[in-house]
Chain A
Amino acid sequence: KAGVTQTPRYLIKTRGQQVTLSCSPISGHRSVSWYQQTPGQGLQFLFEYFSETQRNKGNFPGRFSGRQFSNSRSEMNVSTLELGDSALYLCASSRRPGTGENTGELFFGEGSRLTVL
């Protein structure tokens, strides 16, 4: 069974540009979450999608956006990149969203490492 696939694995952008990251969840998983990981801030929750709807959102500016497609694949976009956006962006999938009935763990991809120059 294939794991969570994130593309690209590495990318370099300059300030002001935009970037789109892609995440393909494990087959059968319909919930996708995105996290930003930096040495100083640790793991910060960006948003979670289920059935093409954003179910929860973290405290990030509007430059960070995402979407989910009917096949559960998800993309996140960061516009007008800043130096502080340099980070490892992690995608995680699970069968269902974070309701009280969902006891399942998150399955993470390898991440997309973004460097902003």
Chain B
Amino acid sequence: QKEVEQNSGPLSVPEGAIASLNCTYSDRGSQSFFWYRQYSGKSPELIMSIYSNGDKEDGRFTAQLNKASQYVSLLIRDSQPSDSATYLCAVNTGRRALTFGSGTRLQVQP
């Protein structure tokens, strides 16, 4: 079992819709969770971090964390074509470095 799992996609949504990206992790001791957006050929950029159970909202983005079920999700409201990218889930398991999922490719159709 991979430590951090994501559906590779592509996830295709129409412009203006809500995109829902999911991530599961295996280490129950994981402490902090991050979503990075990566455009093709570019480096990842941090868009959300979440540390405690529940929802955290920042503009059109909402991160959701459920430690009992070991999943973290990212909702993107009013999706725009500029949101088309790969979204990487990263987890701090308390060890030496962040552990990344393989990413979910999001396509927003105009």
Are the chains A and B members of one assembly?
A: no
Interface residues of A (CB under 8 A from B): none
